[in-house]
Structure 1
Amino acid sequence: MILYRIIGNDLPPRHKEGQTLSNLQFILDHEPTFPNTRKIFVLNRIIDPVNEATIIRLLDRYNMEYIRVPFDEKEYEQLDFQLESFPDADFLHSDDYRRYSKVAKLRALDYTYHKKNLYAMNNNGGRNTAIQHGKSIPNAKWIMPFDGNCYLSNNGFKEIRAQLEKYGKDTKYFVVPMTRLLNNSVLLNNLDERPKTPEEPQIIFRYDASEEYNLNMRYGRRSKLELLWRLGALENRRLNRPTVPWEPAERPYSKDKGNFKNIGWVFRLFSGNPQQEENKKEASSIRAFNRLLAIQSSLDSLDESIARRTFRHDKLFLYNEIDVNQRRYDYWTKHKEVTLAVERLEQAANEVLEGSQQRLAPISSTTQNGMPFETVPEKDELGPLSQNVTILTLAQYLLGNEKYGRGAANLIRVHFLNEYAVEDEDEYNSARRIPDDSHLLDFLSDQGYSFPSLSRVPHVVPKYSNSRILNTSDLTKTDLSSLLDCIRLLRKMQVLTHKEYIDLQAITAEFLEYLVTSPTGIHLAQMTDHRGVLYDLQVTAMAAFTDDVRLFLRVANRCRMRIGKQFKEDGTQPYEETSTRTRLLSSGSSDHQVERRALLHYQTLNLQYWTLLARGIQNAGIAKDIWHYTAANEGQISHAVVRHLQTYADTLPTLSPADADFARSRLRPLAYMAQAAFRHSHEKKTPIDDRVKARTEQDREWIERHVSLFGDQWSAEPLEEEELVHDILKIMHDDKIKGRLGVPPFWMLTSTNS
């Protein structure tokens, strides 16, 4: 007889952390030695190498046999979520999903982890490894692939052995009922009697048994029950009925159905949570719920730990650091187009500084009531604020003039941190702490760890108010990704202090919490047009900035479910078109030109947000590239962008000069950013679905050949001077001046795709 114990990973809250080691120690200390029985332990894909090494040392100390099923991180990283098997595209944002119970929602989410669960948990894989290993042992007659926390007592084993000897000639499978323990020490009281055994049993296989466990049944999804049902051991469970249509169906009854007997008993050692081990329906429900939570949490933790080896929250998200740096070298070496663009940038930066002068009055010139500006910021100011900070930050980065960086930092201080603006600092006064009593500390300014100053501004800037300035409705309509990148750059240039940077992370974390948990945020997440994509862009950008890697990965992975909803195989955007036509109806417009512009505006906006999201995920480098992700209906972001550009490339020659200028101004940033996304995926050899491989290559070649149809990358934006007589056009113009086109200012200076 070969008694296997398959040892996996602890999964809190289903198991208490460290319970596997504790129970293994108990087995090694107290389980009897049985005649004609080899005990072998299967180390089943233990993820933590320190934990695995500890288990091996413990087994070696007791001279126990073991076999390893190693966890190969590279193999695991190739696996992806199951996102395309649900009844509807973007199912997790659907009305049907919203009506599910909490457990039903967890089960639907659990399915998305199917392949990752199969590999990392390897539940039935570990059992089958034991069965195959047992069959390779010459004298092995009975193979017992038991769970890692199973414990056999003397009397339990004696009954099993007696029944095997009595019925083993004619029976290939024996089912061993199990009871759960609330306290392992009851096994030490010498009362070795048959307990009540209502729990899921273990199975013993004769050496010539043909059945094995179903490798497509993951942990938490009938992994053992399926085989018990196929053998006829659980007829009353009606397990042949799949709970939901997307789950793998069980195999039919085994040809050995009925060839089994129930024998003996086995104990399952304590999991560490007494509520889960009682023989009650409630305990079973708690176990099931916690098992689902534990599986998903464990896999999320694993993904996060892998991602954190390369992820840095201070790495630029929207901008590519190498590209931005290259633009600076281009400017220094007098690259003609870059120089002209930087000159326009300098002019814009000077205008921003001049326009914000009253708003950025330093402490020394504040008003009588202590406010650092004359009026309270208006509603919908986040877009222009983001644009101004971006312009000033890029000007400091490329031109090296500190007045621009200081202006950008002061805008952030006043509007985000409720701090006063900081005046020009020098090495002598930069160590000051608090203005009104700093003269008392002058003699300390050149002492301690703060000398010489670690930054170019005071370590503590006083606040004028503790109230929040930005309103949340503005937040939900404005892309913050370029602003967050500018905060990173300002910190790297030492224009913001470390404390200010941390405070900004904390404020962003509050905004992020609002987006993820508030009714408004959840409603936005369920939108099927550009607003839902902007929401995902906001959450991923904020999660990256606040170092919330787990949330970043969750959104970066699940956002792909929107692709099959938003895009058809031919690249059209039915939901965006419907949304736009609804806006046109509500505005009362029936003008064909207005309709054409509105469709161009909103469809481009949707694709622009998708492209920014794809570029952010590409730059972060810790999640699957979404640019070429192919939905079940063969919809792709990359193909939708190219088809959109192709449609307008064909019609540009037929448009009036005004309409052609409008189209090019909207499409040019999208075209060049799409080119950068194509090049990134091509260089990284991103896997592409075989169904669309040829089409994707044609799209890449088209964008390389025709991107210039939409104008030169370095062209200045044309001024829109037409009279805006329609409400929808006014809204579109409002989007532009409030920075809601999904196009960062001077985007051409942050990309090297030309």
Structure 2
Amino acid sequence: MAEARRLPISIVFGRVQTKLRLFRDRVDSAMTSALRRPPREMPAVRGGADAERLDVLPGPDTFVLYRIVGNDLPPLHAPDQSLDNLRFLLEHEPLLEDCEKRFVINRVVDPERRAAMIDLLEQHGQPYLEIPFEWSVYRQIPWALDDYPIGYLLGDAIDELPADRRDAAIAGLYRHKNNYVMNNNGARNAALADGRGRAKWVLPWDGNCFLTKEAWETLRAGVRTAPHHHYVCVPMARAERNVDVVEGRVGARQATHEPQLIFRCDADHAFDERFPYGRRSKVELLWRLGVRGAWDKFRLEAWDLPPPTPVPAAHHAVGWVARLDNGNGRGAAARSLEMRARGSLRNQAIIELLSGMDSATISPFIGPDRLRLFDDASLARLAATAEGDGPPGALRASILAEAEEALGRGPFSPLQKTTRAPSGDPRDYWHPAPYWWPNPASPNGLPYIRRDGERAPGTVPFGPGSEQFDRSALQRVFDDTTALALAWGITGDPVFARHAAERVRMWFLDPDTAMTAHLRYAQVRLGHAGNEGAPAGIIEAKDFYYFLDAVTLCRRAGALSQQEADRFAEWLEAYLGWLLDSPQGRAECRAVNNHGTYYDLQVAAIAAYLGEARLLLETFRRAEDRLRSQVTPDGAQPGELKRRDSRHYCAFNLAGWVALAVLAERCGLRFEGGRRSDGRDILNAVAWLLDRPQAAAWPDARFDVHRLAPLAAFAAHRRGEPAPPFSDAAIRLSEETGLPPFWPLSGIGVPV
């Protein structure tokens, strides 16, 4: 065939060269109109042979058959199923009378498989269209969280589902990504658009469809029995082995599966591109056309797109088509099991492919060698800055002053506290719940009772009595190590790096002094839960998110050996396992207020340091849903406004969200929490907080207004505006604000 050459175009509709637009949830207005409008009035539906003849197109019945070849999805498919079946089809399918065969190469991600498919088609002289895959587009596609009830990912709803429905719920989160990569209905519509001018009947079929000579003749004859119908259904028969198709062991009796569709070239309906592969992509159109079948009994889940309004159109069923083997080697003995489990396997395959692709997009940006909160370029500029040189000079002076102070104290160990955790192990982290006091109505003061906003003796960080517990010492480890490491970063003085590394060794690495890798006794409420810590105690280690950058700087300075770095990673892995699997960790993960925010920040920071891409992605996906549940469309935070010190908690929670947004950006992640169309986002929450009247609405004299400067800077940066000025007093803020020390050095948005 002279036309057997690649058509170098990106297809949206037709064959016109078009730059691929960024994929979005909605099809464009033209497609939406085509999907929604009812078909033209067809006299055939109302009856009468004369009326039917009025809707018959003149001319011969010609056909154009498209096979859409895309990405393989193990374990549903064998890894090379698409290529193997394409080869089988090209070598064994007969010529089909009055039918032009064409192919669509549909967003094949693997460049080697794509090249092999194209080479095979060109060897056989087959014309094809290509819809290319572009990583730059894929990276910008969000998760489909808006399909789900707010807070759906935070509770037990998904975990309590049966395994097959749980897989479907997780796969649904990838709907937008699925629609770009698998492009199921997008490719079908592209074939439809290309084929309307080529033949009277267009067959936009899946890539594994195979027609024998007998099946084709039956199909042609069936189409001619009702030429006034605009839609024809062709039931599908699944082959256990490809050879069974050509040897006549697959036929109409096995054709009990979801049909392929034939469109008359002037048909009004098209496929709805919002519906993804594996979730009724074709069934949506069957529902719309009024085609009855087993799909009428499909369960609708909370996250499903609503079914369409039926607009019945004249159609009929004819013949059959074979579906070639998926190549997974299950064989006839497991066929019935495969039919029951196919939907679950499909969902697992979708999750595996897309989560793997997401991981590939962020893997270059994660691991222990990269800074994720502080900024290398800002550090370099600060190294060349003189003290007294405006705000940068003040920042440099603040870092060096704190580092000098840190040289005169520490290092620290859990063994230094003057009391012990209920376990009796001096290495166990131990701290009472700060707002819980002895019960005055009980002789022994047990069980303790809560007084919101009133800290118990010894629980104020660095206050009187704090030496009894570990809270202040751990904070010293976080903050002193960070100041010392940053001081090395801007001066190159090895003394700072050595002292920073010593703090890491003593608290985390030395088997005689290191903390055990859990927080079982953080925020113990005596007389409750067997004197184990509350889930809320996990927040006391929230500042891993900036401390891990200090460890990275120690490694760069050579102050920590590779062996020590490996041991630190092992400690983190053990602690991360406890965060994920312990009763405290599982409960804190479900917290709806700032505790949930800082749990996500802690898990995300550790996952990024350890290179755990899939856990990092899962954490940010959950965080986006958490943000939707915390912030109202006008920017308020109801969960924090309930608290006695509501202004503090609103600002504290937002500090966590700002850190999460910076972390996401540094990890190459698209994080929708910065700006959402429904207003449930960080920028709107910052604006709400900054707009509150300072005295009447916030009767809290202890609130340090300087802590608002980083939030305002973040918002300005994300809006593309100049950062507002800030005073020297805002450079180093209390740990209770949730903000990192020396925040202008971070990615919050203030240039240094």
Shorter-chain TM range is 0.7 to 0.9
Which is further off, 43-52 or 507-516? 507-516
Asked whether the equivalents of residues 188 and 271 of structure 2 are also in contact (C-alpha less than 8 Å), the reply is yes
1:371-520 alignment runs, 5 A limit: 376=427, 379=430, 380=470, 381-418=473-510, 468=516, 471=519, 476-477=538-539, 478-479=541-542, 480-520=544-584
For residue 142 of structure 2, give the secondary structure of its aligned residue in structure 1: coil
Aligned residue-pair number: 622
Q: Which residue in 2 is equivalent to 1:249? A: 306
Task: Please list the CA deviations of residues 332-370 of structure 1 after superposition, one character each: whole Å capped at 9, or x if unmatched.
Answer: 465266556555544543443343269699xxxxxxxxx
Match status 1:322 vs 2:385? no
Q: Which residue in 1 is equivalent to 2:29? A: none
Task: Please list the CA deviations of residues 20-44 of structure 1 after superposition, one character each: whole Å capped at 9, or x if unmatched.
Answer: 1111122122222333332211111
Structure 1 residue 195, shift from structure 2 partner: 4.1
Structure 1 residue 14, shift from structure 2 partner: 1.8
1:252 counterpart letter in structure 2: T
Q: Which residue in 2 is equivalent to 1:599? A: 646
Which is further off, 170-179 or 480-489? 170-179
For residue 646 of structure 2, give the secondary structure of its aligned residue in structure 1: helix
Task: Please list the CA deviations of residues 151-200 of structure 1 after superposition, one character each: whole Å capped at 9, or x if unmatched.
Answer: 222332232233334x1534443322222222223335455654422222
1:30 counterpart letter in structure 2: H
1:299-310 alignment runs, 5 A limit: 299-308=354-363
Structure 1 residue 96, shift from structure 2 partner: 4.5
For 1:395 and 1:416, the matched residues in 2 are separated by 22
Distance change (3 Å), C-alpha of 1:553 and 1:467 = closer
For residue 379 of structure 2, give the secondary structure of its aligned residue in structure 1: helix
For 1:466 and 1:338, the matched residues in 2 are separated by 36
Which of 379, 383, 407 is matched with 1:353 structurally?
Answer: 407
Distance change (3 Å), C-alpha of 1:8 and 1:358 = closer
Q: CA RMSD, aligned part only?
A: 3.4
Distance change (3 Å), C-alpha of 1:750 and 1:179 = closer
For residue 647 of structure 1, give the secondary structure of its aligned residue in structure 2: coil
For 1:195 and 1:385, the matched residues in 2 are separated by 73
For residue 560 of structure 1, give the secondary structure of its aligned residue in structure 2: helix
Structure 1 residue 527, shift from structure 2 partner: 0.4
Asked whether the equivalents of residues 374 and 745 of structure 2 are also in contact (C-alpha less than 8 Å), the reply is no
Which of 660, 665, 668 is matched with 2:706 structurally?
Answer: 668
1:263 counterpart letter in structure 2: G
1:228-377 alignment runs, 5 A limit: 228-235=286-293, 237-238=295-296, 243-244=300-301, 246-257=303-314, 259-274=315-330, 280=336, 282-308=337-363, 314-330=369-385, 332=386, 334-335=388-389, 342=396, 345-356=399-410, 376=427
For residue 481 of structure 2, give the secondary structure of its aligned residue in structure 1: helix
Which of 688, 695, 716 is matched with 1:643 structurally?
Answer: 688
- Structure that is richer in helix per residue: 1
Q: Which residue in 2 is equivalent to 1:556? A: 620
For 1:470 and 1:162, the matched residues in 2 are separated by 72
Structure 1 residue 391, shift from structure 2 partner: 2.3
Which of 205, 208, 211 is matched with 1:146 structurally?
Answer: 205
Distance change (3 Å), C-alpha of 1:12 and 1:82 = same
Q: Which residue in 2 is equivalent to 1:156? A: 215
1:314 counterpart letter in structure 2: D
Asked whether the equivalents of residues 612 and 742 of structure 1 are also in contact (C-alpha less than 8 Å), the reply is no
For 2:580 and 2:145, the matched residues in 1 are separated by 21
For 1:570 and 1:148, the matched residues in 2 are separated by 48
Q: Which residue in 2 is equivalent to 1:183? A: 241
For residue 254 of structure 2, give the secondary structure of its aligned residue in structure 1: coil
Task: Please list the CA deviations of residues 406-460 of structure 1 after superposition, one character each: whole Å capped at 9, or x if unmatched.
Answer: 11112212322236xxxxxxxxxxxxxxxxxxxxxxxxxxxxxxxxxxxxxxxxx
Task: Please list the CA deviations of residues 488-519 of structure 1 after superposition, one character each: whole Å capped at 9, or x if unmatched.
Answer: 11122222223433443343233333333444
For residue 673 of structure 2, give the secondary structure of its aligned residue in structure 1: coil
Which of 723, 742, 745 is matched with 2:741 structurally?
Answer: 745
For 2:301 and 2:715, the matched residues in 1 are separated by 38
1:294 counterpart letter in structure 2: A
Distance change (3 Å), C-alpha of 1:43 and 1:186 = same
For 1:214 and 1:276, the matched residues in 2 are separated by 35
Asked whether the equivalents of residues 14 and 273 of structure 1 are also in contact (C-alpha less than 8 Å), the reply is no
For residue 129 of structure 2, give the secondary structure of its aligned residue in structure 1: strand
For residue 209 of structure 1, give the secondary structure of its aligned residue in structure 2: coil
2:378 counterpart letter in structure 1: D
Structure 1 residue 7, shift from structure 2 partner: 0.6
For 1:390 and 1:414, the matched residues in 2 are separated by 15
Structure 1 residue 375, shift from structure 2 partner: 7.5
For residue 92 of structure 1, give the secondary structure of its aligned residue in structure 2: coil
Distance change (3 Å), C-alpha of 1:164 and 1:507 = same
Structure 1 residue 237, shift from structure 2 partner: 4.0
For 2:713 and 2:411, the matched residues in 1 are separated by 37
For 2:145 and 2:598, the matched residues in 1 are separated by 20
Q: Which residue in 2 is equivalent to 1:691? A: none
Q: Percent identity?
A: 28
Which of 181, 201, 204 is matched with 2:262 structurally?
Answer: 204
Task: Please list the CA deviations of residues 298-340 of structure 1 after superposition, one character each: whole Å capped at 9, or x if unmatched.
Answer: 222233333346666532112222223322222x465266556
Structure 1 residue 218, shift from structure 2 partner: 1.5
Which of 19, 26, 44 is matched with 2:106 structurally?
Answer: 44
Distance change (3 Å), C-alpha of 1:472 and 1:673 = farther
Q: Which residue in 2 is equivalent to 1:612? A: 659
Structure 1 residue 276, shift from structure 2 partner: 10
Match status 1:114 vs 2:175? yes
1:618 counterpart letter in structure 2: E
1:9-20 alignment runs, 5 A limit: 9-20=71-82
Distance change (3 Å), C-alpha of 1:41 and 1:313 = farther
Asked whether the equivalents of residues 69 and 82 of structure 2 are also in contact (C-alpha less than 8 Å), the reply is yes
Distance change (3 Å), C-alpha of 1:159 and 1:625 = closer
Asked whether the equivalents of residues 635 and 688 of structure 2 are also in contact (C-alpha less than 8 Å), the reply is yes
Match status 1:57 vs 2:112? no
Structure 1 residue 243, shift from structure 2 partner: 1.0
Which of 93, 96, 114 is matched with 2:154 structurally?
Answer: 93
Distance change (3 Å), C-alpha of 1:54 and 1:519 = farther
Structure 1 residue 483, shift from structure 2 partner: 0.9
Q: Which residue in 2 is equivalent to 1:103? A: 164
Which of 661, 674, 679 is matched with 1:627 structurally?
Answer: 674
TM superposition score normalised by structure 2: 0.74
For 1:360 and 1:401, the matched residues in 2 are separated by 29
For 2:731 and 2:104, the matched residues in 1 are separated by 65
Structure 1 residue 214, shift from structure 2 partner: 2.4
Q: Which residue in 1 is equivalent to 2:85? A: 23
1:315 counterpart letter in structure 2: R
Task: Please list the CA deviations of residues 514-533 of structure 1 after superposition, one character each: whole Å capped at 9, or x if unmatched.
Answer: 33344432221210111000
1:92 counterpart letter in structure 2: L
For 1:465 and 1:359, the matched residues in 2 are separated by 6
Which is further off, 378-387 or 406-415? 378-387
Q: Which residue in 2 is equivalent to 1:430? A: none
Match status 1:136 vs 2:136? no
Distance change (3 Å), C-alpha of 1:350 and 1:59 = same
Structure 1 residue 9, shift from structure 2 partner: 0.6
TM superposition score normalised by structure 1: 0.74
Distance change (3 Å), C-alpha of 1:309 and 1:253 = same
For residue 703 of structure 2, give the secondary structure of its aligned residue in structure 1: helix
